[in-house]
Amino acid sequence: MSDKIAFVFPGQGSQYVSMGKELYDHFFHLGDTVFEICGKITGLPIKKICFEGSIEELTSTDVLQPALTAVEIMIANIVMESGIKPDVLAGHSLGEYSALAISGILNMGDTFKLVKERGRLMEDECQITQGAMAAIIGLDMKTLNEMLADFSPKGVLVPANHNSPEQIIVTGEKKLLDEFIPLVKQKGAKAIPLKVSGAFHSQLMQGAKDKFASLLKNTAFYQPIFNFYSNVTGNNEKDPAKIRLLMAEQLISPVLWVKEVNSMKEFGVNIFIEIGPKQVLSNLIKKCNLPGDIRIYSIENLAGLEKCLKEIG
């Protein structure tokens, strides 16, 4: 049986100014279409912000979400135009929207409408709630859940992302996280506060979820062209109606990335291609210690594309 290929798309935190520019300069006929649609939907000069803006402007949640999605969709189109087609698509948090667009579950216009509103609603919710997040390194999920159980009567503090066997993101009320971090260090593990504006993937995003669900109801979701794996279930999801519900749940649910990666491997994926800036997902997949011959590529520039084409194209 031939190897199956997965395109995986990173989420918020992987951005940098000039992301995607080198590939755009070589394939502008593909990039212009994406940026034009994104600009019309958002009313923002997305291409200029991505390539020439300040990191402060780019990192604002309501700007970043459509900007990163546009770059990832552009790169995926370039890779497919160059001859590499995926069998499987998955994204990490925001990155799921790039996967939805490439899979055909959403059309491109609706993709940008949703990420624009998702970013705005999340930013609004961050102003209301005092949330924070931290990466916990060196504790397994069982131990972490046992520790978090003591905080449950006090308020919201829960796992957000199961990124790898050794890295779990915790999200919730800032005052509780400030109490929790010293306890993690007492266990001999690391706790690294994240530079985010709120407690994403927790109940503190419930207000955003409720409003976003209303928007999703009026958005057309189609049958996937490629296999699509969900952050919420960690499984291959094929029913458009269920996927619509999952995209609302995603705002308050943990990202089950370890389960997702293992599910893709069980499906037959041996080649993972990260589509987008930096190599966050590539590094997390390596730490999942998957069995067999696993090849991992990252395409954020021309060198990454050429390496991928040479070895598997």
Q: For 145-203, how does the pLDDT look when each residue is reduced to its tens digit (9 = 90+)? A: 999 999 999 999 999 999 999 899 999 999 999 999 999 999 999 999 998 889 999 99
Question: Can you give the residue ranges of every domain in the chain?
Answer: 4-126+203-312, 130-193
The class level of CATH for 4-126+203-312 reads: alpha beta
Where helices occur in the chain by DSSP H, the ranges are 21-26, 28-42, 46-52, 55-59, 61-81, 95-103, 108-128, 141-149, 174-186, 206-217, 240-249, 257-267, 280-287, 302-312
Q: Is 201 a catalytic residue?
A: yes
What tokens appear for 153 in the block?
Answer: 């009567």
Q: Indicate which residue of 92, 103, 162, 201 is catalytic.
A: 201
Q: Indicate which residue of 14, 92, 93, 253 is catalytic.
A: 93
CATH topology of domain 130-193: Alpha-Beta Plaits (3.30.70)
Q: Is 93 a catalytic residue?
A: yes
Q: For 15-50, how does the pLDDT look when each residue is reduced to its tens digit (9 = 90+)? A: 999 999 999 999 999 999 999 999 999 999 999 999
